[in-house]
Structure 1
Amino acid sequence: MSRRVARWLPSVAVATTLLAGASRAQHPPPLDGNPPLGSLWHFLSDSSRARWVRPTASLVLPGTGQLLGGSERGALYLVAEALLLTRFFSLQHDGTRDAGEYRNLAFSVARGAFSPEVRDTAFEYFEAMAKYIESGPFDMDPGPDLVPPWDERTFNGRIWLLARQTFFADPDSIPAPNSWEYLQALDFYRRRAVGPNFRWSWRGAALEQDLYRQTIRSSDQAFRRARDQLGLLLANHLLSAIDALISTRLRGGAGPAGPSAGVRLGRARLHADPYLLVTLQATF
């Protein structure tokens, strides 16, 4: 069984369960033909409260407002919710797994020779590790004065170049060490350069750095797609609530006859990833 098929099996199982439950929920067991007085179902199915109960119920859990009104399309909202939630948690899992892999490469390969202690830091630091072969030394002078590196192939050398371009009239001409320009450039460098405790180097480990780049890119894409799923989840809640509101007002809180608003689900493919299309339709 392929990983893609296995990834969607939980969604199918959840969707099947929701469909079965939704079918039963539309016709709850009555007591003498009516819901038990004082029960939650009696409260929710009261037509006098339908104008606000059903949209609110759909906003909390998509599809419930439609099911309370006797509309089978509520099951579609529930299935969409299950699929989107499953996709969200799957992407979060993939992003977290890949994040652990690229951090392990960073700590064991690139930083292993300089700092055996594992010290986590901002994501921008790990992004810089993917772009530069090494951080370079923080200070070229063993004495008390700070002397930044000039090798622009390294991260720190690039930061020092940016500091010179920002504060010096000529980046290749160094002003007096006690001048305002030089002191400002040093401060700029000191606040942005990688210190000795976070120094790294991929020299002699080109394959590992290439794997690192692929893994950090994969992790970042998974987290961004997970955020996209949150947007789709929010849209599903809002669409279901609006659908329930329109349907309830058009029908005056009555049953499923008359004008209706509905939802249509579909699948589309953008690049290599499938996306769920949710289209709201109103019939007057």
Structure 2
Amino acid sequence: MAADAPTVPVVRTRAATPGAVPDGGSSRRRPRGVAALLTSGLLWLYAAVAVVPLAMMVLNSFRTDQELAAEPLGLPAELNLAAYQEAWIEASFSTYFVNSIVVTVTSVVLSTAVSLLAAYALARSRSRLMTAIEQVFVSGLMMPVFLMIVPIFYLLDTMSLTSTRTGLILVYAAVSIPFSVFVLTTFFRQLPGELEEAARIDGAGPLRMFWSVMLPLVRPAVATVVVFRFVPVWNDFFYPLILIRDRTRYTLPVGLTTFFGEYQTSWSTLFAGLVIATIPLVLLFLVATRQIISGLTSGMGK
């Protein structure tokens, strides 16, 4: 008679339900949910703290001086635009605003165009000369602004460019190039060289490859550079104060100092002037937010 086959104990387990989470997993995920909730709460609190002063500035710009004196934290009884008219026309705020727009936009466009060409050449070249040139650009990031003002002033004075918007544009463009080249070179190096080889096989020249193939791929980087250079140039007070002597050439930061001195008793006009100075920055961030986030997070998953 054959020996009986050994019996194997049967262990019964519960069938896994689709979407079910083990007990250990739930206990491990719960602290992460609490941390995410706390982080979200802190970010919303920070956003509220940052937005409340801006909202008060906008609301107070529509109020009269009498309303502000009687109730500083109240709401406007009606939308009064007299403060904006006084700031724009009577206080010559339109002149300061136009000067800032011309100087900032022109200098940012000029520095970005030069930096794109330089960054592309530096990223695709492996020669020692290009490496040395790149180090020169990077060293410009470590140069303090205050140490350069004396030679810059004498240089512009020799070229008869002091107290002109052209001189101020050239200074801002030159100061912005090191940072722009540093950022754009990093982005160009992340692009595969096979794209250029394919374009070269199709008969594209260097300029065609740069304009049609490479430039669209670094658009987030370009948006990041534009925003990060637009804001400091728009808010800069030091260079216009030293290099501009004619009041009709003042930019917004310098013009605001005289603006505050003349209209320090008209609070509604002051708030209106601040709103006008803030509008371009807000519009820029609203338009370029998606590109900025894409540019700052590019390469984090590699």
TM-score calculated relative to the size of structure 2: 0.27
TM-score calculated relative to the size of structure 1: 0.28
Greater relative contact order, per chain length (Cα 8 Å cut-off, separation 6+): 2
**In proportion to residue count, which structure has more helix?**
2
